[in-house]
Structure 1
Amino acid sequence: MTAHKANEAGFGIYIHWPFCAAKCPYCDFNSHVRHQPVDQARFAAAFERELSHFAELTKGKRVESIFLGGGTPSLMEPATVERLLKAVADRWTLEDAVEITLEANPSSVEAERFRGYRAAGVNRVSLGVQSLQDRDLKLLGRLHDADTARAAVETARATFPRLSFDLIYARPGQALTAWEAELQEAISLAADHLSLYQLTIEHGTPFYALHQAGKLDMPEPDLAAEFFELTQEVTADAGLPAYEVSNHARPGAECRHNLVYWRYGDYVGVGPGAHGRVTAGATRLATSTERHPETWLENVERAGHGLIENAGLNEEEQGDEFLLMGLRLKEGIDLGRYETFSHRSVDPRRLKALLEHGMVEEIGENRVRATREGFFVLDAVVADLAA
């Protein structure tokens, strides 16, 4: 597979800031609480070194998106963010319309700090609101209340050209009517993008232990499906249809960085626990870094990177990943591009069966996408197409 084919979907940089003020009980992301101030200058220097390592692998590529994720990147000083963005710009050519997103929690939003991020070059913010109900914010372990979230959204809208925020639904004890009202309020607050996720119980989290002990009641599968259907209908009616399973936007306001992932483009991942997909020559590499922040820091200072995985993907693995990512999108996948990655064709009989069972649908010449029914069993759909 050529680098050109791998990069048809663009090229992005993901920078993982792993620190949070508190660990949410549902979260299985690589996030860490530190009770002493983080040495931001030392970490920024390590990010610069790891970026240099990847710049050597990706010479000539143009950056379409930069995403500062976490953790809670809004715990960084604006000067740290500026330093990281300069590090990217010094190592690659940025597209004129580069999208630069920073994740923020409402509890860490200050208007002055936000103006500092904007001055540093951030042009899109993603707020972890999660709920507009105080009771559920406490259940979810959030440090902000609903009014703080609303104020943070207003501050973000006044500061950045683009805004998104996250909400979690199908929460314990939540009624469909309550979610619909909350979603309508969210739409009224949102500028052009919402990320709406069903609450899932992830292994190793406090919620998992509570659920196993029978102390956390989750909606039954049929009710969870109703939440999903309601979410799709309300957002579509409001002009923010789903362009991916959990992401909704006005046309043209989709998150370009996440589209790089879902379209199976190349992206560099730096920082503790970051993942990447990078095409070097004729090889597509899966990369991941040391998860523990201080260990990652020491590794980078010693070796120039914190990589713990840097392995070439075989054709079957690339094909499977392409299907799993692309079938999440409303635009679906180009089966010809699947053949480019996997060096094999989809079995016409299996495709016909999935079409007849309503798991996928054709949306143009040689393009298919998962249906709503197919979303619920996406792993099985991918397994069938890849068989």
Structure 2
Amino acid sequence: MSLPQQFATDTSPPPCPLPQAGEGKLALYIHWPFCVSKCPYCDFNSHVREAVDQAAWREALLADLAHEAALLPGRRLTSIFFGGGTPSLIPPATVASLIDAAAFHWTFAPDIEITLEANPSSVEAARFADLARAGVNRVSLGVQSLDNAALKFLGRAHDADEALMALGTAQSVFARVSFDLIYALPGQSEAAWQAELGEALSFGTDHLSLYQLTIEPGTRFAAMTARGDLVPADPDFAATLYELTQEMTSAAGLPAYEISNHARPGQESRHNLTYWRYGAYAGVGPGAHGRRGGLATLRHKKPENWLIALARNGHGIAEETPVATPARGTEALLMGLRLHEGIDLDRIAALAGREAVDRAKVDGLVTRGLLSIEGNRLAATPAGMLVLDGILVEIAA
């Protein structure tokens, strides 16, 4: 794709400064929408294209970033997250340009976390040193499994040996490394998952993201399930694997700080904590979400539509939706109870403009051992995490 002149990025300050959005912390999400292939379980905004004009995409992302920054002046950036898609396909020079642009627009926190998601192919792993020089200080590897049969089932392009080599390379380059695994696969035994998780814990990373396979609408796995070609794991058995996961990670010093994320104390994903604690974040790139003041922002999802909108409007925004006061409280409740630390009921009520939870139902769930309350802090217990979706529906006022 060629780059229309309208995408040219002017990094000078706006001639007429916009009203200050207020001092405060901000996280930045940058979406790279392209993948080499589409995995059968994936419902993320990812697209396969034969060719990508890298220069055009660099300028387009810089332009979208500049637009969002002009609306969020005076902020202190605590994290940047390159997600996708497959962000490790971005040229390191483009990553460096985007980080430099963010530093121009905002003040960086001294300990800013800059994460990039990566696939563990040898081609992408070869870029790790260049990405570190560009400013990335944390990498999240999409390993997904340490078993070759499972990797084939999941549609991954790498094998287990390649994943381990990429992990070793990442650990030699980056101070902070996380990787993902998917479990509760059809036919997976408890012993097999115990062995795989034990191996994963032996590598010494300070963060793991451990997700149960979910069949998302619109995916190839959803179509296979509808035809009867795929039978998901039994929910009760999946719950058994979840409990095993909590036991093993806690014993290894990586307890769950969120329902699917585990870390040594101090090594939690600061960027994702911004989401779960209902903080402010800017999202740029196709399909990126953001929260700017009282607005929920959403960029055009299809890459070509995003480019067209950017050329026409100077940004890729498809929707800017005011979030009503009660809805803010509900969103903060839904996100915050995913965390082991839980939520502050006073803050949730302030966001909602009223009582945000049904106290009688909360008390009943406390009695049943599914929720706990200490002062004004409400949290799900380990038993409650197993049925969290049902709890959230029940207690939301």
The alignment status of 1:357 with 2:368, answered yes or no, reads: yes
Matches within 5 A, 1:32-51: 32-36=47-51, 38-51=52-65
Matches within 5 A, 1:39-188: 39-107=53-121, 109-188=123-202
The aligned counterpart of 2:320 is 310
Cα offsets for 1:254-310 (capped at 9, x unmatched):
00000000000000011000111111xxxx111111000111012112211111111
Matches within 5 A, 1:1-387: 10-36=25-51, 38-107=52-121, 109-279=123-293, 284-345=294-355, 346-362=357-373, 364-387=374-397
* C-alpha distance 108-274 of structure 1, shift in aligned 2 (>3 A): farther
Q: In 2, distance between residues paired with 1:201 and 1:347?
A: 31
CA contact (8 A) 2:43 2:218 kept: yes
Cα drift, residue 336 of structure 1: 0.8
Q: Secondary structure at the match of 2:202?
A: helix
Cα drift, residue 386 of structure 1: 2.4
What letter matches 1:357 in structure 2?
R
How does the TM-score come out when normalised to structure 2?
0.92
Q: In 1, distance between residues paired with 2:396 and 2:215?
A: 28
Q: Secondary structure at the match of 1:49?
A: helix
CA contact (8 A) 2:88 2:124 kept: no
Q: Secondary structure at the match of 2:180?
A: strand
What letter matches 2:171 in structure 1?
R
Q: In 1, distance between residues paired with 2:125 and 2:240?
A: 38
- In structure 1, stretches of 5+ residues that fail to align are none
Higher relative contact order (CA 8 A, sep 6+): 1
* C-alpha distance 201-111 of structure 1, shift in aligned 2 (>3 A): closer
CA contact (8 A) 1:242 1:330 kept: yes
**Further displaced range: 46-55 or 348-357:** 348-357
Question: How many residue pairs are counted as aligned between the two chains?
Answer: 376
Q: In 2, distance between residues paired with 1:105 and 1:348?
A: 45
Cα offsets for 1:324-344 (capped at 9, x unmatched):
100000011000100110011
Q: In 2, distance between residues paired with 1:163 and 1:73?
A: 15
Q: Secondary structure at the match of 1:216?
A: coil
Q: Secondary structure at the match of 1:32?
A: coil
The 4+ residue runs of structure 1 with deviation greater than 3 A are 108-112
CA contact (8 A) 1:170 1:219 kept: yes
Cα offsets for 1:132-168 (capped at 9, x unmatched):
0000000000000000000000000000010000000
Q: In 1, distance between residues paired with 2:237 and 2:319?
A: 40
- In structure 2, stretches of 5+ residues that fail to align are 1-20
How does the TM-score come out when normalised to structure 1?
0.94
Q: In 1, distance between residues paired with 2:99 and 2:307?
A: 19
**Further displaced range: 325-334 or 182-191:** 182-191
What letter matches 1:129 in structure 2?
V
Cα drift, residue 76 of structure 1: 1.0
